[in-house]
Structure 1
């Protein structure tokens, strides 16, 4: 149990450290780095590299933004095998619907209970 927590912590931390180094050492904006992480997660899943990392680290590999690309790709691959070509469009959305819904809901709740201020 404790070892699984350690694995998730160091892998997730490493992914975040890499992103922070890219932010500090390049002129890329955080938004572009996030998009790059999503694309990298999907690409690494497609070529079979990210699955062993997820099996090893669990939430440490799926919770960071790179895990969103992983989930999109896994959902699309599964839907294509079940539904054919239409699965390319529907699979990723179906696989990530819960996470997207939670993000919208919690963002809405945070907006309700916070006082916005102008900068």
Structure 2
């Protein structure tokens, strides 16, 4: 049942993104920013954690989950370090994900030799 709920929650997030792409003139980059920002806002109010409890990886893997991680890291660091933690906490909380994205992106670029579109 865990896999089904993760599939449903992740699928709903993807459907929202597809609807935004099909029905608005928003660029994909703006939609990505909206997703991260919505994850930060929902995470700051504790709403996104309830979605993670329901959907598991279906909620933590997409971009709103990244925003939620940013918010959680910043909130934790502010409690520990004060105002300076607002600037450092988000990066600390998401460092593993950012590092993995850079590493695997570089690895794929080495393997598949990317080319620019003409």
In 1, Cα distance between equivalents of 2:87 and 2:113 = 38
Instruction: Classify the secondary structure of the residue corresponding to 1:27.
Output: coil
Aligned to 2:93: 95
In 2, Cα distance between equivalents of 1:104 and 1:93 = 14
| Structure 1 position 87, deviation (Å) | 0.8
Instruction: Classify the secondary structure of the residue corresponding to 2:113.
Output: coil
What is the number of residues matched between the two proteins?
117
Structure 1 unaligned regions, length at least 5: none
Normalised by the length of structure 2, the TM-score is 0.95
CA deviations over 1:74-98 (Å, ceiling 9, x no partner):
0000111111111101110001000
In 2, Cα distance between equivalents of 1:71 and 1:100 = 11
| Structure 1 position 109, deviation (Å) | 0.5
Instruction: Classify the secondary structure of the residue corresponding to 2:73.
Output: helix
CA deviations over 1:1-39 (Å, ceiling 9, x no partner):
xx1111111000100001001000000000000000000
Aligned to 2:3: 5
In 2, Cα distance between equivalents of 1:117 and 1:64 = 26
Structure 2 unaligned regions, length at least 5: none
The alignment yields a C-alpha RMSD, in angstroms, of 0.9
Normalised by the length of structure 1, the TM-score is 0.94
In 1, Cα distance between equivalents of 2:49 and 2:115 = 43
Structure 1 moving runs of 4+ over 3 Å: none
Instruction: Classify the secondary structure of the residue corresponding to 2:83.
Output: coil
